[in-house]
Structure 1
Amino acid sequence: MGYDVVSRLLHWVTVLIVFVMIPVGLYMTQDGIPRATQDGLFKLHKGLGSIFLLVILARLAWRLFHRPPPLPASIAPAQRWAAEAVHAGLYVFLLVMAVSGYVRVTTGGFPIEWLNAIGIPPLLPKMEAVSKVASIVHAVAKNGLILLILMHVGAAAYHGIVRRDGVMSRMWPPV
Structure 2
Amino acid sequence: MPDDPHGYRTPARMLHWGIAAAVLLMIPAGLVMTREGLDRGLQDTLFLFHKNTGVLLLPFILARLAYRLRHPPPPLPASVPGWQRRIAGLSHGLLYVLLIVMPLSGFVRVRAGGFPIELLDALGAGPWLAKSETLAGAAQSLHAAAGFALIALLALHLGAAAQHALILRDGVWSRIWPPRAPR
Q: In the aligned structure 2, how far is the partner of 1:44 from the partner of 1:18? A: 12
| Equivalent runs, 1:41-120 vs 2, <5 Å | 41-120=46-125
1:120-155 per-position Cα deviation (integer Å, ceiling 9, x unaligned): 222222121111100000010111100110000000
**Normalising by the residue count of structure 2, what TM-score does the alignment of the two structures yield?**
0.92
Q: In the aligned structure 2, how far is the partner of 1:58 from the partner of 1:24? A: 24
1:54-85 per-position Cα deviation (integer Å, ceiling 9, x unaligned): 11111111112110100011110001001101
Q: Check the 8 A contact 1:9/1:174 in 2, yes or no.
A: no
Give 3-state SS (helix, strand or coil) of 1:165's partner.
coil
| Match of residue 158 from structure 2 | 153
Amino acid corresponding to residue 109 of structure 2 in structure 1? R
Note the C-alpha offset of 1:174.
Answer: 4.5
Provide the alpha-carbon RMSD of the alignment.
1.1
Matched pairs, number:
175
Give 3-state SS (helix, strand or coil) of 1:32's partner.
coil
Gaps of 5+ in 2: 1-5
Pick from 27, 38, 55 the counterpart of residue 33 of structure 1.
38
Q: In the aligned structure 1, how far is the partner of 2:39 from the partner of 2:179? A: 40
Q: Check the 8 A contact 1:160/1:168 in 2, yes or no.
A: yes
Q: Does 1:138 align with 2:143?
A: yes
Aligned residues with identical type, % of pairs: 51
Note the C-alpha offset of 1:21.
Answer: 0.3
Q: In the aligned structure 2, how far is the partner of 1:30 from the partner of 1:154? A: 28
Pick from 7, 10, 17 the counterpart of residue 15 of structure 2.
10
Q: Provide runs of 4+ in structure 1 moved above 4 Å.
A: none
Q: In the aligned structure 2, how far is the partner of 1:46 from the partner of 1:95? A: 14
Amino acid corresponding to residue 30 of structure 2 in structure 1? G
**Normalising by the residue count of structure 1, what TM-score does the alignment of the two structures yield?**
0.96
| Match of residue 177 from structure 2 | 172
Q: In the aligned structure 2, how far is the partner of 1:173 from the partner of 1:19? A: 18
Amino acid corresponding to residue 33 of structure 2 in structure 1? M
Q: In the aligned structure 1, how far is the partner of 2:79 from the partner of 2:48? A: 46
Gaps of 5+ in 1: none
Q: In the aligned structure 2, how far is the partner of 1:13 from the partner of 1:125? A: 33
